[in-house]
Amino acid sequence: MSYPVVNKGVPLWLAVADFNNDDNLDIVVININSIVSNTGVYTVGILFGNSNRTFGAMKILPVVLSAVIYSTVVYLRCITSDLNNDGHMDIVLTKNNNPCSIAILLGYGNGTFAAEKIILIGNDGCRLSIAIADFNDDDHQDIAIVSDIDYYVALLVGHGNGSFKASMIFSTGIYSFPSSIDVNDCNDDGYLDIVVANTGNYNIGVLFGKGDGTFRTQITTMTEHTNIVTQIVVGDFNGDGKMDVAGVCGFDSAILLSSIPTFVFVFVGYGNGSFGQQMIFSTELFWPDYVITNDFNGDGRLDLAITSQYDGNLSILLNTCACCALEISNQTYLSTNDFPG
């Protein structure tokens, strides 16, 4: 089933939540709607879900997204959560314009939102990756942010009313340029940890949470230098109760020119912030740019879905290991032919 974007726009990013409290999931979408003088004009819209599993016409929100030069790689993102504890879903948007910032839209629970609140992250243009969680166990949602032009994680601790304290900074290493962030309890101590993909230093970093909104010094694991890690996701992929990391490696000029498909990697975690040898899985995609994990075939194992904005395709890798803790640790390479379906 297809649903048009208003003004013949092209959807770039989406998130799912129930924004009008009717028990039907809705879809918020960032769109590019026109090209004027080589400049992209962007909007944010919502497709409201109906009880018959269809969606209504897109409603454009009064959100200001600065125009971006069309040839620029766009990295606008949105994520949803209840930031002010009123039982209504809110939206957080990243903005890769000057200055670097995020926008918060507090929901009224009827499909409308308060005027956007802007929080500055830096003075320069950037690409942001964000995660929302309660890092200090106060029952208020906090926002963790990484920027591809900086060397740290910025944590905005929430007051529970949609406002936040000044950001706290936690280093990811000099020249690390982190491009992606995910959150989980990686050492099973009951506290949320932060995992980042450090593009500049070719490593995966883990910052163990102390449960009070602060973090220990980053532990890193090197990735292969053949590709740039652009996006990561955390999950238990081998069923041993310890968090693993999967990620996609984007293009560099040599790979793009040679037309070699890039890949997904998996690091099996030891539960202490360190990981085993990197395993490679072919995606048959060029320039994969995003990965998510879920159990897509109902077999109780986490699978991976990867997208590529370069060739416009989606690849799903089904987790096939029957005795995961043993089998995945002995596997060093799988192609897409090893994932039936």
- The per-residue pLDDT for range 208-246, each reduced to its tens digit, is 999 999 999 999 999 876 567 788 999 999 999 999 999
pLDDT of 138-190, one tens digit each? Answer: 999 999 999 888 899 999 999 999 999 999 999 999 999 999 999 999 999 99
| Average pLDDT value for residue range 194-218 | 95
Of the pLDDT bands very low, low, confident and very high (cuts 50, 70, 90), residue 134 is very high
- The pLDDT of residue 260 is 52
CB 179 within 8 A of CB 150: no
Count the Cβ atoms, other than its own, within 10 Å of residue 226.
14
Q: Please give the Cα distance from 332 to 238 (Å, whole number).
A: 14
Domain-embedded: residue 268: yes
In the structure encoding, which two tokens stand for residue 320, read together? 């096939």
Residue 36 lies in a domain: no
Q: State the DSSP string of 134-162.
A: -SSSSSS-EEEEEETTSSEEEEE-B-SSS
The answer to whether residue 76 sits within a structural domain is: no
Residue 253, SS3 per DSSP: helix
Does 205 fall in a domain?
Answer: no
Is 319 inside any structural domain?
A: yes
Q: Report the alpha-carbon angle 174-262-302, nearest 5.
A: 90
Pairing label, strands 333-334, 279-285: parallel
Note down the domain range covering 276: 223-334
151-161 pLDDT, tens digit per residue, is 999 999 999 99
- Report CA 141 to chain centroid distance, whole Å: 17
Assigned domain for 269 exists: yes
How many domains does the chain contain in total?
1
What is the three-state SS of 183-239? EECCCCCCCCEEEEEECCCCEEEEECECCCCCECCCEEEECCCCCEEEEEEEECCCC
User: What pLDDT does residue 313 have?
Assistant: 80
- Specify if 249 maps to a domain: yes
Residue 320: inside a domain? yes
